Structure 1
Amino acid sequence: MSRERLTSRHLRLFDSQEMAVADRAAVRDGRSFGELVAAAGRAVAAAVRQHAPPMQRIAVLAGPGNNGADARVAAADLIEGGWSAEVYAVAADAAARPIAFFDPAPYDFVVDGLFGAGLSRTLDGEVADAVNRLNDSRVPVLSIDIPSGVSADSGAVLGVAVKADVCITFERRKPGHLLMPGRALCGTVHVASIGLPDAALDEAVAGRPSLFANEPPLWLSQLSRPGSSGHKFDRGHATVFSGGATQTGAARLSATAALRAGAGLVTVASPPSAVLVNAAHLTAVMLKSCGGDGEVDALLQDSRRNAFVLGPGFGIGPRACSFVSLILRAGRRLVLDADGITSFADKPNLLFELDPADGDPKLVLTPHEGEFARLFPDLATLVDLPKFERARRAAVRSGAVLVMKGADTVIASPDGRAAINAVGTPWLATAGSGDVLSGIVAAQLAQGVPAFEAACAGVWIHGRAAEYFGPGLIAEDLPGLIPRVLAELFA
């Protein structure tokens, strides 16, 4: 599904239970199960025609459940159209060969219809052997719904899993399409409609916590655009705290990103020992000497300073905790990252009590997995929980919006909403990348964007900018790409 056609409704991710409820609701309201299977099978066959070499040999792997039924319909549709399609089934019959006989070598393309979103057990035996043979070959694969062996709910691999080039799923994407390691096994994901009524889909998710793919329709309406009669103070003033003289680069990366991402003014608050170092590198970003609590208090006297970043290169210790306390008790918005997070490792509840529960959170936490474990050690051990559920519980406990970074970054709000990022590139795994992200999020906070939407937008802009650059990316490249992303968003 192209970004141009996406709406916030389409961004809602459905887990396996929710999809099962939607199917049952559709059947109850007049759609037959056979109609749904036929529609799914036709959609699979159409996807094969789009992605496979014309009129070549196709192997179709069919499981014992609904996924297998879809696969068998697709095979019949292809054969009727003149394609050569042979079915290998877990439950073999006169129309299908046993899965144990499957050898990918003679085929040009394979349809994986073994197991879909409902899989809850580990693949083993003849099925696992067939999957391993398929993965060892170079034959292109289209998986129905999700690669067999991947949990649709968590992205976990259940023993062994198909590595697909293309997935075709139905009505809505599943969490496993976006969560690692499943995300890396899905290839390109296409969403096809099989005629489930909107009412059935709505019934399936009624009263359940919302989980979305993080894409622009989720938050674009909340972003700020400069008005023709506006001025820089309308777009907020972000302040980024710097580390000492040999640890200034991270703060400057964050500050530059905040300015590029739309903050009207940005200041680096530097310890006296680092003022000259920072001054040698800053132009449009302003500079202020700030060595202790008194200077932070002075900054907070200016109500126009409405968003802060603390953590990148700052240093770990009580000074960080004190600054954070002053900022949050003053009711200002704060992105806390890196050293700022680690400074609260032995007293996380002190941090969580600083953000008043008055609606929109003031605090955005941006931990990677290691930093997450320092603040939420018990949640970090719950590895069987999907990443979004661990992040959601952490957001509820802390009262903060949580950005749990990684190849499958998750953003979670204390109100239960969560989103899994849908863009990015492995080249983002580079020093300083997280500092840039903090600045982009702070820019949205400075402009008055609600915290959850500010975090979602920041994560997406960050990932999209990296996509524009590609291989060889370093953190310094990212701020200069932000205007291109904003132009795309506001076009």
Structure 2
Amino acid sequence: MPIELLSPAEMGEADRIAISHGPFDGYALMRNAGAAVAAEVLRRFSGEKHINVLCGPGNNGGDGYVVARLLREAGCAVRVIAEGPPREGTDAALAARDCPLEAGPLSAFEPDAGSLVIDALYGAGLTRPLDREAARVAAACRNACARVVAVDLPSGISGDSGRAVGEAFEAMLTVTFFRLKPGHLLEPGRASCGEIVVADIGLPETVLEQIAPRTLVNLPALWLATYPRPTRQQYKYSRGHVAVFSGGPGSTGAARLSALAAARSGAGAVTVYSPGNALAVNAAHLTSIMLRRVDDPDAVRDALAVRSPDAFVLGPGFGLDRPVREWALAVLKASAGGVVVLDADGITSFRDRPEALFEAAKSSPLDLILTPHEGEFARLFPDLAADDGLSKLEKARGAAARSGAVVIFKGPDTVIASADGRAAINFNGTPWLATAGSGDVLAGIVAGLAAQKMPPFDAACAAVWMHAEAARRFGPGLIAEDLPGLMPQVLREILAIDPAL
């Protein structure tokens, strides 16, 4: 799957550039798009007796007229239902003219139970709620358990944000063209799309050079070139040293999950910085992971003077009864460089003074990676979180720009954003990760990769993908303790992707 994501506006620009350079004009591209959808329908539903094609008045509807014509030519029983005629002189009008089927009105359409419906009403370009009749049909299709194939994007879902403004179609299959859009991956759009097929309709890859997209799909192709690979000359510290701050005696497990994940992701050395009253508890559970007593911010500075780790994890299970903010600021000021992954309590501790964190991070030699879930994001960026006019992608980008950090905005549609404007939406999220402690593991994987000198944005993207991939492979019954042990198989296959190995 291509890694570039295009907004609806960028996709329109790609079409314009492609048409201006040829060899395909707009109607030829529309015929190619319709042919791609028809091929997927015939591949899956070749024995279908009745197919309903819903056509809107714009280009998405034009694709639908092409689909209907091709399915009719293939011997299918097809009915066309239109929400108004296309505007004269448009490519959609040409497609309607060439379709031999007379269109019935959308107002008269009622889907039969389990019927096959091709949704070619509006696609990704709609920026307003569906009209009354289209909204009625979307609800009727859902109530009738109709099998919906969406052209480009289920009508009613925003191509920019993935949100549904009012009613929207729910598809079992979505066929889109050239590149995915953010709305295909951001929830609830991702769930509404069902299976997604990206079809080649003849747009040249060179159009991307002019558009220069900054939003990407989080797949290995995005970060594989910078993925750390061990060499024979390395020793444990040269493979990266991670320090994980532990909570008190009653909350040490989160730090150990992070520490083990950092080690399993390839870091050569991992040390748990533990308060004195938790040393015995941690020592009883740690073998290959080192342990050092660190009771206060002054002890942090002393530890860094002896050996400064390449990456830190602060927050998992740390607790808010200690001055977490002072610990975080001490690390940012005392370390000679590397990465600090701030998670959980480390984020919450700055809820009333987020600017203190951002200022310290921007003046620190350390790179900052934040890993908030929705609630933690709202504590650190309350205005962004409350702005319903922003998509999750825009919120993550805004947070990265403000903080100067790489932001991993977690969820089923995790967004990773960098202060330089790059952003990636994760593709392989799984519900099995909705279990206590999985975020602690993610923080450790991020730190483990960053400690091996993987660039922070790439490390964040790789960690999110690997974390989800491990959970997907395990499936039902997953608990956080399972995740580190699943990493070797994922790592082995990632490294094998590179033909040079």
Instruction: Normalising by structure 1, report the TM-score.
Output: 0.94
Q: How many residues align?
A: 479
Q: d(CA) in 2 for partners of 1:463 and 1:394?
A: 23
Indicate yes or no: 2:450 matched with 1:445: yes
CA contact (8 A) 1:318 1:343 kept: no
Q: d(CA) in 2 for partners of 1:315 and 1:130?
A: 51
Identity of aligned residues (%): 52
CA contact (8 A) 1:337 1:438 kept: yes
What is the aligned partner in structure 1 of residue 284 from structure 2? 280
Indicate yes or no: 2:7 matched with 1:15: yes
Instruction: Measure how far apart 1:293 and its partner are.
Output: 2.0
Instruction: Measure how far apart 1:361 and its partner are.
Output: 6.2
Aligned residue type for 1:117: A
What is the aligned partner in structure 1 of residue 233 from structure 2? 229
Q: d(CA) in 2 for partners of 1:327 and 1:369?
A: 25
- Equivalent of 1:186, from 184, 193, 198? 193
**What SS is found at the alignment partner of 1:117?**
helix
Alignment of 1:9-88 (within 5 A): 10-30=2-22, 31-88=24-81
Q: d(CA) in 2 for partners of 1:44 and 1:171?
A: 13
Instruction: Measure how far apart 1:415 and its partner are.
Output: 0.4
Alignment of 1:429-468 (within 5 A): 429-468=434-473
Indicate yes or no: 2:108 matched with 1:116: no
Q: d(CA) in 1 for partners of 2:363 and 2:177?
A: 39
Aligned residue type for 1:348: P
- Equivalent of 1:477, from 476, 479, 482? 482
Instruction: Measure how far apart 1:91 and its partner are.
Output: 1.8
Moved over 6 A (4+): none
What is the aligned partner in structure 2 of residue 170 from structure 1? 177
Question: 5+ unaligned residues in a row in structure 1: which ranges?
Answer: 1-5
Q: d(CA) in 2 for partners of 1:229 and 1:460?
A: 29
Q: d(CA) in 1 for partners of 2:332 and 2:409?
A: 21
CA contact (8 A) 1:56 1:108 kept: no
- Equivalent of 1:366, from 368, 371, 375? 371
- Of residues 147-156 and 192-201 in structure 1, the stretch that sits farther from structure 2 once superposed is 192-201
CA contact (8 A) 1:335 1:365 kept: yes
CA contact (8 A) 1:131 1:162 kept: yes
Instruction: Measure how far apart 1:318 and its partner are.
Output: 6.0
- Of residues 287-296 and 440-449 in structure 1, the stretch that sits farther from structure 2 once superposed is 287-296
- Of residues 29-38 and 396-405 in structure 1, the stretch that sits farther from structure 2 once superposed is 29-38
What is the aligned partner in structure 1 of residue 339 from structure 2? 333
- Equivalent of 2:360, from 354, 357, 371? 354
Aligned residue type for 1:82: G
**What SS is found at the alignment partner of 1:28?**
helix
Instruction: Measure how far apart 1:53 and its partner are.
Output: 4.6
Indicate yes or no: 2:389 matched with 1:397: no
Q: d(CA) in 2 for partners of 1:106 and 1:202?
A: 46
What is the aligned partner in structure 2 of residue 263 from structure 1? 267
Aligned residue type for 2:181: K
Does the C-alpha gap of structure 1 residues 241 and 316 become closer, same or farther in structure 2, counting only changes over 3 Å?
same
Instruction: Measure how far apart 1:109 and its partner are.
Output: 2.0
Aligned residue type for 1:409: T
**What SS is found at the alignment partner of 1:362?**
strand
CA contact (8 A) 2:114 2:144 kept: no
Instruction: Measure how far apart 1:233 and its partner are.
Output: 1.6
- Equivalent of 2:164, from 157, 182, 193? 157
CA contact (8 A) 1:233 1:304 kept: no
Q: d(CA) in 2 for partners of 1:317 and 1:178?
A: 38
CA contact (8 A) 2:123 2:155 kept: yes
**What SS is found at the alignment partner of 1:403?**
strand
CA contact (8 A) 2:332 2:366 kept: no
CA contact (8 A) 1:55 1:82 kept: no
Aligned residue type for 2:32: A
1:458-489 per-position Cα deviation (integer Å, ceiling 9, x unaligned) = 11111111110112221111111111111121
Indicate yes or no: 2:303 matched with 1:299: yes
Does the C-alpha gap of structure 1 residues 112 and 327 become closer, same or farther in structure 2, counting only changes over 3 Å?
same
Aligned residue type for 1:350: A
CA contact (8 A) 2:114 2:147 kept: no
What is the aligned partner in structure 2 of residue 3 from structure 1? none
1:265-308 per-position Cα deviation (integer Å, ceiling 9, x unaligned) = 11111111111111111112111111112321122124451111
Does the C-alpha gap of structure 1 residues 302 and 224 become closer, same or farther in structure 2, counting only changes over 3 Å?
farther
CA contact (8 A) 1:58 1:107 kept: no
Indicate yes or no: 2:245 matched with 1:241: yes
Aligned residue type for 2:246: S
Alignment of 1:374-393 (within 5 A): 374-393=379-398
What is the aligned partner in structure 1 of residue 421 from structure 2? 416
Aligned residue type for 1:191: V
CA contact (8 A) 1:317 1:343 kept: no
- Equivalent of 1:342, from 341, 345, 348? 348
The two structures, once aligned, show a CA RMSD in angstroms of 1.7
Instruction: Measure how far apart 1:22 and its partner are.
Output: 1.3
Indicate yes or no: 2:83 matched with 1:90: yes
CA contact (8 A) 1:53 1:108 kept: no
Indicate yes or no: 2:152 matched with 1:145: yes
Does the C-alpha gap of structure 1 residues 436 and 166 become closer, same or farther in structure 2, counting only changes over 3 Å?
same
1:345-395 per-position Cα deviation (integer Å, ceiling 9, x unaligned) = 11111111112468x961100011111111111111112211111111111
